[in-house]
Amino acid sequence: MARFSTRAITASTRSPRVEQVPSSVPIYQSAAFSTRDADELGDVLTGAVPGYAYSRIDNPTTNVLGSAIAELEGAEAGLAFATGMAAIHAAIVSVVRAGQTIVVTSAVYGTTRDLLVRILAGLGVATEFVDPRDLALVDAALARTGSPILYVETVSNPTILVSDLAALARVAHDHGALLLVDNTFASPYACRPIEHGADLVMHSATKYLSGHSDVLAGVVVGSRERMDAIRPILVDVGGTLAPLAAWLVLRGLPTLAIRMERHSETAMELAAWLEGQDGVVRVHYPGLPGDPGHELAARQLDVCGGMLAFELAGGRAAGRAFLDAMQLSERTASLGSVRTIVSHPSSTTHRQLDAAALAAAGIAPGLLRASVGLEDVEDLREDFGIGLAAARKASPA
Ligand SMILES: Cc1ncc(COP(=O)(O)O)c(C=O)c1O
């Protein structure tokens, strides 16, 4: 009989054979998978036969997530990543080469902007930012730069600007560029960019897909051919999603539809209420009839989602006062959770931008961004009312 340590190891690592199908995807919390012989390991590692060898490369639980989002987005294939940023990085790097310039919406998430101007710029990739609403400008930028990518967000962070994906896909494809879309704010329940001509779709699955603010994850979906180009980046850079994290996102997906319906309904009610409040200059929510994205949203979004933004008359001081006074909503930078989250971009996510860059990105100093959660709308109105009262007090007379 083997000795104690050997027995402890073999007894505790013997995987059960399960013939029946479990109701939830098992968490394959294993770094590696052993094979019958050297040939099988070689074949799996080189991709000659399907299978599992090492979880940075492939993990059964993590693979289910990539495929599930691909199915929801109407794409051929998908891969899961450790974070949304790892997914966005892999998608961009799979297309662009040193010496090229890429065309990106000026209304883009702050860290995506940093990735472009801090990391990729250092590797010889330049970025030209354009207003995605001006198709002539986008067309000219693509023609001038010969960019292989047009990069936009379905609904922008933090300005809640809706991009016309079908029109942008046509312009991009006319120039031989691919349309890359960050669909985080919309979620595949509200919009499936591939139906509008997008080539690659990225998500921070940290947000609506998982839905509970308890996991970081990212996903890219697209054609099998494009995903084959992304896979080596995932494997070689190692931005792999851990199986437990993949499971947490999978756990969120069955309720995505009902969560998005409720997020959207409550956001619409709050947006309409905010429009009539003293000290609120403007409300950005595509569900509002007066919003510049309203007509486009009606064509492109099945629901308008839970993200809204509003500008306070009192500028930065009012924004801060609102944030500090809230008693129910969370003061943090994330979004897409069961809890309502309010952030003040000019002092948080976009604080690296100077006044000119903030203005170019459409971010007013008094702009607050709300990720409307699943709480009762009456309680949220009360909380926002407390914020507004504090903002009015803090506003310069
Ligand atoms: C629109 C958008 N894209 C991407 C990301 C990055 O996602 P992660 O934090 O999962 O890397 C975020 C994060 O807030 C986001 O809001």
Residues 166 and 207 in one domain: yes
Q: How confident is the model over 143-169, as a mean pLDDT?
A: 96
- CA of 10 from ligand 1 middle (Å) equals 41
Please report which confidence band the pLDDT of residue 363 belongs to, taking 50, 70 and 90 as the band edges: confident
Ligand 1 neighbours by CB, cut-off 6 Å: 83-85, 109, 111, 153, 157, 182, 184-185, 204, 206, 216, 218
- The residue among 232, 255, 278 that closes a domain is 255
**Closest Cα to atom 10 of ligand 1:** 84
Q: Is the peptide bond before 396 cis (omega within 30 degrees of 0)?
A: no
- 325 and 361, same domain (yes or no): yes
**Spatial separation of the C-alpha atoms in residues 59 and 6, rounded to whole Å:** 26
The ligand 1 atom at the shortest distance from the C-alpha of residue 86 is 11
Residues 177 and 215 in one domain: yes
Rounded to the nearest integer, the mean pLDDT of the chain is 96
Counting residues of the chain whose pLDDT is more than 70, the rounded percentage is 100
- 33 lies in a domain? no
Domain end (from 237, 255, 273)? 255
Q: Are residue 47 and residue 184 in the same domain, yes or no?
A: yes
pLDDT over 90 at 354, yes or no: no
Residue 351 has pLDDT above 80, yes or no: no
Local confidence band at 353 (pLDDT 50, 70, 90 cut-offs): confident
One-letter amino acid for residue 133 of the chain:
R
Same-domain pairing of 388 and 266: yes
Q: What is the CATH number of the domain that holds 58?
A: 3.40.640.10
Within 8 A by CB and 6+ apart from 69, the residues are 75, 78, 80, 188, 203, 205, 209, 219, 221
CB 381 within 8 A of CB 272: no
- Mean pLDDT across 100-129: 96
Pocket test of ligand 1: the residue of 184, 185, 334 to mutate, having most ligand atoms within 8 Å of its CB, is 184
* pLDDT band, very low/low/confident/very high, at 212 (cuts 50, 70, 90): very high
Distance from Cα 245 to the centre of ligand 1, integer Å: 16
**Considering the entire predicted model, what is its pTM?**
0.96
The Å distance, Cα 397 to ligand 1 centre, comes to 37
What is the spatial distance between Cα 103 and Cα 115, in angstroms, rounded to a whole number? 14
Q: Are residues 139 and 263 in the same domain?
A: no
Distance (Å) from CA 255 to ligand 1 centroid = 21
Per-residue burial over 32-67, b = 16 or more CB atoms within 10 Å of its CB, e = otherwise = ebebeeeeebebbeeeeeeebbbbbbbbbbbbbbbe
- 320-344 pLDDT per residue, tens: 999 999 999 999 989 999 999 999 9
The answer on 328 and 229 residing in a single domain is no
Answer yes or no: do 144 and 284 share one domain.
Answer: no
User: Same domain, yes or no, for 142 and 247?
Assistant: yes
Question: Mean pLDDT over residues 171-175, rounded?
Answer: 98
Please say if the pLDDT value at position 359 is more than 90.
no
DSSP type of residue 118: I
Closest CA to 158 of 281, 313, 285: 285
The confidence score (pLDDT) of residue 349 equals 72
Q: So what's the pLDDT on residue 240?
A: 98
Nearest CA to ligand 1 atom 14: 334
Token pair for 395: 């506003």
Alpha helix positions (H), 282-376: 294-300, 315-325, 355-360
Helix residue spans in the chain (DSSP H) = 4-12, 38-46, 60-73, 84-93, 110-114, 135-145, 165-174, 187-190, 224-237, 243-252, 256-275, 294-300, 315-325, 355-360, 377-394
What pLDDT is stored for residue 298 in this prediction?
97
Does 105 score more than 80 pLDDT?
yes
Band of the pLDDT at 362, cuts 50, 70, 90? confident
CATH at 323: 3.90.1150.10
Q: Could you say which of 255, 274, 306 is where a domain stops?
A: 255
Supply angle C-alpha 116, 240, 110, rounded to 5.
25
Containing structural domain, residue 273: 256-394
Q: Tell whether 32 is covered by a domain.
A: no
pLDDT score for 19? 96
Strand partners, 312: 280
> For the ranges 66-75, 94-103, 353-362, which has the lowest average pLDDT?
353-362
169 falls within a domain: yes
Distance from C-alpha of 215 to C-alpha of 199, rounded to nearest angstrom = 27
Same domain, 61 and 95: yes
What phi and psi, each to the nearest 5 degrees, are found at residue 225?
A: -65, -45
Separation of 335 CA from ligand 1 center, angstroms?
9
pLDDT of residue 348: 78
Q: Mean pLDDT over residues 115-131, rounded?
A: 98
Number of domains in the chain: 2
Closest ligand 1 atom to Cα of 334: 14
Q: What is the mean pLDDT of residues 2-20?
A: 96
Atom from ligand 1 closest to the CA of residue 153: 1
Would you please indicate which residues are annotated as catalytic (active-site) residues? 56, 109, 182, 207
Closest ligand 1 atom to residue 205 Cα is 10
> Same structural domain for residues 356 and 367?
yes
Per-residue pLDDT tens digits for 29-76 = 999 999 999 999 999 999 899 999 999 999 999 999 999 999 999 999
